[in-house]
Amino acid sequence: MTEKNVSAGVRIVAIDAGSDGQRVDNFLLRELKGVPKSRVYNLLRRGEVRVNKGRVKAEYRLQSGDLVRIPPLRMAVADESPDLAPSRGLQERLTSAVLFEDDGLLVLDKPAGLAVHGGSGLSYGLIEALRAMRPEARFLELVHRLDRDTSGCIMVAKKRSALVNLHAALRGDGVDKRYLALVAGQWPQRHRRVAAPLEKNTLQSGERMVRVSTSGKEALTEFQIVERFPGATLVEARPITGRTHQIRVHAQYIGHPLACDDKYGNREADARFREQGLRRLFLHAHTLSFDWLGQRLTLKAELEPELSGFLETLRSSL
């Protein structure tokens, strides 16, 4: 990778409707491509970035008509070397993964193993890859998240107004998300709803874990049995709340953790699943249903071949 320094003078950027409501730190990260994130936050803390001639904090939400002063700075601008772009394979996978698209919204079937954001040694996550593939797009933001090892339906807003509306729907009951999960053991019929508060914890290693705790936030998941196998059950999970790792921790909490879950799984059960050929977490965002432009939109992502093939392996052992 080769880089060159480019000197940029003071810029005054007028905020239009497309950026209305966006946090100023996120706006700057998009405007100042090539500038380290830490430097962007330093500019804000030191007051070198001004909005309407005044200092603002990182969480300030821009309004249409705001004037943002971006100071002179030198930034590293990468050349157009092919290795800086998402791989051809990833681009083809994401192009074929589109489930729905219009002027305001993009819904994709995210592959397992792809983080939604870059970082921690990853050059590209889903959103960075999409922005690189669509340099003409003025706005691309994740509406919600999926864990790196979870596949399936994920929404990306193409307009600020779409992001705001979908966030409001997610906070209420306007978005119905259903997941398919394979759990260890025989899921009991009585456990159709798991209500257990969840609390985030960060270990000394920096790894983020979630646990059931009375001091945690309210969390509710509905479960429905889909199919039973020897030593495993395929369930449909519907998270009513949207807590981190909610389905995984709730399944573990009642004694039936997800198959091949490296954080919350059962080692003995996972060893058996791996012997039978499963190599990834069995959790897939199967369907999304929500109101969009006056109609109810329901989108479905089929199981990835590794997961559907593993189910066939289990069926053949019956």
Residues with catalytic roles? 147
Region of 34 (left: φ > 0; alpha: ψ -120 to 50; beta: rest) is left
86, 88, 91, 93: CA torsion to nearest 10: -130
Please tell me what DSSP assigns to residue 103: S
C-alpha atoms less than 13 angstroms from C-alpha of 24 in its C-beta half-sphere? 28
Phi, psi torsion values for 92, nearest 5 degrees:
-65, -40
C-alpha atoms less than 13 angstroms from C-alpha of 237 in its C-beta half-sphere? 29
What are residue 3's DSSP bridge partners? 78
**Which tokens in the block code for residue 104?**
């305001």
Q: Do residues 237 and 179 lie in contact, with contact meaning Cβ atoms separated by under 8 Å?
A: yes
DSSP 173-242: T-EEEEEEEEEES---TT-SEEE--EEEEE-TTS-EEEEE-TTSB--EEEEEEEEEETTEEEEEEEESS-
Strands 151-157 and 193-195: unpaired
